[in-house]
Chain A
């Protein structure tokens, strides 16, 4: 069965080595065709008796080459393309050239409805070909593919007449194939011949076959990879991640691996066709050519689209001359692309002037992505719809990248469509749970068995209650507190035992790991685990028995912890309260039941704990969080309010922090190498510059030397006549912070474990396993620590844990962005039919605009100062804008009018107009009786 064949390969690893590897050729690899009598084994291919194609009448199988897969994966994924042989040669080449496409291809291979079969031609003794002298590896692979197709044709001849078609867009390859008697077509020919595939044609990628020229823009050529690698080694070029600016489409930053400061890039020529998220090679410009961001918010408007190149250059020149030396930033230009990170983008067709045109521009929803040129015949149909497109290439003669249409999402403005866009743009897995996942759920009615009780501690008689925001259905924490005979208190935090239901390695576990977190949109929740668990079996609702993972402390009356212990338990919550209800119980002296008593004790302890934490230097940060009141029928927002903060919020938070820190210590002690922790790195001092400057303008000094110093100086910076000043400072501080991230303890030195914001040496997430996957890992670790559960291989593998952490960090960031985008969306809907005047504060002063914060809606609006009648003078040093008598500074109070600009449907814009202070020719008269809010501004502590 084994025939051995060795081949010789030379590789370079510093030195030149001769590597000899064995290569076994086998005769037991089956063809995978159903009707084949010779081969048994899996039959995934079934040639249908009726051919879907007009061109090829008989039964046939398809065999695409590597480039067809790489460029046309969108078409290949379509359900009409079936019965395809994926050769091992092709699979390996795809794997080397594009991991995302490889993943998609693998998913197709797993899908039984697609009838895709991967044929290991390299290991088959009939189809293996040796590389000939002087033959390039590409040519060898092409030959291997042809050889495999030829074998298939010969092999299937004996049983039934089944043709195998080679799909390749390489003319040379096609010619060679025809010479050998292999039927061969381009993918374009084949798709056009499909009987029901007219719309599939639109999805074909252009793959360089047609280049739109005629644009005035000509980009410099990209360097080949070999030249880039050489340059990287000598230090001539730098490698980094390209991050386009949201505010200005001609600017971008590149974060270079080991440099703290980002490299700035300006001008379309210098950006040189790099797209957001690409890995690029850059070359630094000469120091006298360095510039700085134009701090002008340049809106990508229709008129500016085809800005003349010369004009642009001139502008650039002008700007550069203006840039004073001290403001110049390290500036570079893109010389080559190391790796494209293109994904699919949501967008809308830009209306074309010519009616019957087939070439269209798609304006993407993400402002950092350029417009994409596509070819479609269904333009009329797609107008006013949200669509998904993919980029294929970006030739140097084209102003915009070229792409193709993938699918449509729905009408613009529909809440459903907009939500879909939001989820797609933030890469949030939001499809329903698969059958395999749902099969992992316990069957109803679910009951606690005797064995369960034996293994768990019985806390059903304790007076446990939960405190959550109103309308919360996924309750994952509950508390209790009772007196101990020795005068101390016993406090218990009970967390839903999700890891009991989600066993490692099951489909539900994998899905939860992929999703990473539950995503909360304003009107929708995308669950991490199916609803049965999140809202029922795991949710610690009142008066039902539920499994919990409990942390029990013995605490003295001064909130000193005597000891902590952990246990899997069964609890029965006595009450599921909202923050307001809990607050009422505490404040109402007539209530003396056990739950209320324990709440009072908890509240008292929480205050002491909080004070201790503050003394250690924990920061109280502020951010604006708002709640929409949603109309029950139209689901449109009818009112907005900022979230209220009560003592009880802080009470729950304090104990959650305590539980998190305790578990972090326990798991780290037991698993120093593979604990899943959360850290919040110290931000570099330069991050605080804007904050220090802003505070200085009001005469306060902010000390950022340590967390404690910062907290203290924030505490001192209070203006008695402007209560909102301090809140704004705290909002600004939040913006200076680095992101908190999950990590695996074995991957970093212990000195980097710290959590800056909470002033904790170590920290983790333990208390919300229903909505965060990290907590599930921590639960499992802790369960192993106390001997309640067995460990499994992946749990103790630090690389796997770190990989999971990386995914979680990404998902969390995306979930946050999506949440914000959803609030934005609702703000737009809310202001659609409203004209309101509001009080606001200047948060930042820019070159042509003021960034105004409106506390009532927790909204940041941009007030453009580009009036034709009056001129504003911008002072770059002091950050002020002056118009005649009026001077605008940071923290100034203004009154603005908010409306929605509906001229561009894709990006509904919130338009801000100045009402007060009055500037002749610029400000607008107040609308209707101006409703200024008297409500005291509320601050919300930042959730960490």
Chain B
């Protein structure tokens, strides 16, 4: 009879997290050997693979060539089995196109593009399982893949979503919270300088509450950064030790 209670009086969300807690993040670098860089990220039940090729010569039409910087080419796709109802088109629909554009913007801002003029970097992102926060997981996976490929960046790009329920902000929202009709704010930041490279909001939120939610999301990004950075360091030390022997 009664709908779901997204945030209980005791301060727990539907999946047992408190409002400031992220979902469990697991990640791995260098999952493919063919690609120049690759990574796999799980944020709760959202699972994403990213692969990076490049920098290499411009492929396809030469008209896309940029004289002063590198062309960042992204492709976002969702596996047909990623949602509870089987998807018809894995890519090319409006939503994927929008997501592709957003990824492109984000990485154009983070990669030191002027170092590789007249060349191209490809970032392919595949969502294997979707449970909310697809964009965030994609950005986080792509960051790791770009690092794995050894492409210079200003900083990691970390993304996190947040929402506003009742009268408190909640961070890293899952599919259920996303589809409840409450506003959704997605932020991608460069964590060291705290620069926001991407910000998007869906739904209506009163301006008085905006800063609270954005702060929550930025804090979430920093927490994500901690996890990503640890993984990268572990990976590098592992690779380093395997080289020594």
Contact = CB atoms under 8 A, between A and B. Distances in A.
Interface of A: 2, 4, 6, 15, 17-26, 88, 92, 95-97, 99, 102, 106, 109, 118, 120, 122-123, 339, 790-793, 796-797
Contact of A22 (B174, B208, B209): B174
A96 B176 CA distance: 18
Contact of A15 (B2, B85, B174, B176): B85
A790 B205 CA distance: 15
Contact of A792 (B9, B174, B206): B206
A24 B45 CA distance: 12
B21 A23 contact: no
Interface in B5-58: 5, 8-10, 12, 14-17, 21, 23-24, 44-45
Nearest to A21: B15
B1 interface: yes
Contacts of A18: 84
B45 A22 contact: yes
B1 A99 contact: yes
A123 B16 contact: yes
B131 interface: yes
A22 B12 contact: no
Nearest to B181: A799
A123 B15 CA distance: 8
Interface in B148-180: 174, 176
Contacts of B23: 22
Given A15-B85, A118-B10, A797-B204, 18 more contacts: A4-B44, A19-B84, A21-B14, A21-B45, A22-B16, A22-B45, A22-B174, A23-B16, A24-B17, A88-B10, A95-B2, A95-B5, A106-B9, A109-B9, A120-B8, A339-B1, A793-B206, A793-B209
A791 B16 contact: no
A942 B149 CA distance: 80
Contacts of B208: 790, 792-793
B21 A2 contact: yes
Nearest to A798: B204
Contacts of A793: 205-206, 208-209
6 contacts: A15-B85, A17-B84, A21-B14, A22-B45, A96-B1, A796-B204
Interface secondary structure of A, over-half rule? mixed
A23 B174 CA distance: 12
A21 B179 CA distance: 14
B206 A25 contact: no
Contacts of A20: 45, 84, 131
Interface string B127-152: 00001000000000000000000000
A22 B12 CA distance: 13
Given A18-B84, A791-B206, A118 B9 contact: yes
B42 to A, nearest CB: 10
A791 B10 CA distance: 29
B15 A23 contact: yes
Contacts of B8: 88, 120
A15 B84 CA distance: 11
Interface string B205-220: 1101100000000000
A22 B85 CA distance: 18
B210 to A, nearest CB: 10
B65 to A, nearest CB: 45
Contacts of B12: 120, 123
Given A95-B5, A118-B9, A123-B12, A21 B85 contact: no
A796 B206 CA distance: 8
A24 B1 CA distance: 25
A2 B24 contact: yes
Given A22-B15, A118-B9, A4 B24 contact: yes
Nearest to A106: B9
Contacts of A95: 2, 5
A25 B17 CA distance: 9
B16 A17 contact: no
Contacts of B10: 88, 118, 120
Nearest to A28: B18
Contacts of A92: 5
A92 B10 CA distance: 12
Most chain B CB inside 10 Å of its own CB: which residue of A26, A95, A123, A796: A123
Given A22-B174, A24-B16, A791-B206, A6 B1 contact: no
A791 B45 CA distance: 39
B15 A17 contact: no
A18 B84 CA distance: 6
Contacts of B1: 96-97, 99, 339
Contacts of A25: 16
A22 B44 contact: yes
A88 B14 CA distance: 12
Contacts of B15: 21-24
Interface string B66-90: 0000000000000000001100000
Contacts of B2: 95-96, 99, 102
Contacts of B176: 21
A604 B9 CA distance: 59
Contacts of A122: 16
A683 B37 CA distance: 71
A97 B2 CA distance: 8
Contacts of A6: 45
A102 B206 CA distance: 30
Interface centre among B8, B16, B23, B176, by most chain A C-beta atoms within 10 angstroms, is B16
A106 B5 CA distance: 14
Contacts of A24: 15-17, 24
A23 B131 CA distance: 13
Contacts of A96: 1-2
The 10 residue pairs across chains A and B that have the minimum distance between CB atoms:
A793-B206, A24-B16, A123-B16, A22-B15, A17-B84, A4-B24, A22-B44, A95-B2, A120-B10, A24-B17
A23 B10 CA distance: 16
Contacts of B5: 92, 95
B156 to A, nearest CB: 22
Contacts of A791: 206
A796 B9 CA distance: 25
B86 to A, nearest CB: 11
A252 B206 CA distance: 46
Contacts of A23: 15-16
A293 to B, nearest CB: 33
B58 to A, nearest CB: 42
Interface in B181-210: 204-206, 208-209
A791 B176 CA distance: 30
A74 B15 CA distance: 32
A277 B84 CA distance: 40
A616 to B, nearest CB: 37
Contacts of A109: 9
A19 B85 CA distance: 10
Contacts of B21: 2
A97 B85 CA distance: 30
A772 B237 CA distance: 70
Most central of A2, A4, A22, A123 by chain B CB within 10 Å: A22
Contacts of B14: 21
Contacts of A2: 17, 21, 24
A2 B12 CA distance: 13
A2 B223 CA distance: 15
B134 to A, nearest CB: 15
B224 to A, nearest CB: 15
Nearest to A19: B84
Contacts of B44: 4, 22
Contacts of A102: 2
Nearest to A94: B2
A24 B24 CA distance: 9
A106 B45 CA distance: 32
Nearest to A790: B208
Nearest to A109: B9
A292 B16 CA distance: 56
A24 B15 CA distance: 6
A88 B12 CA distance: 11
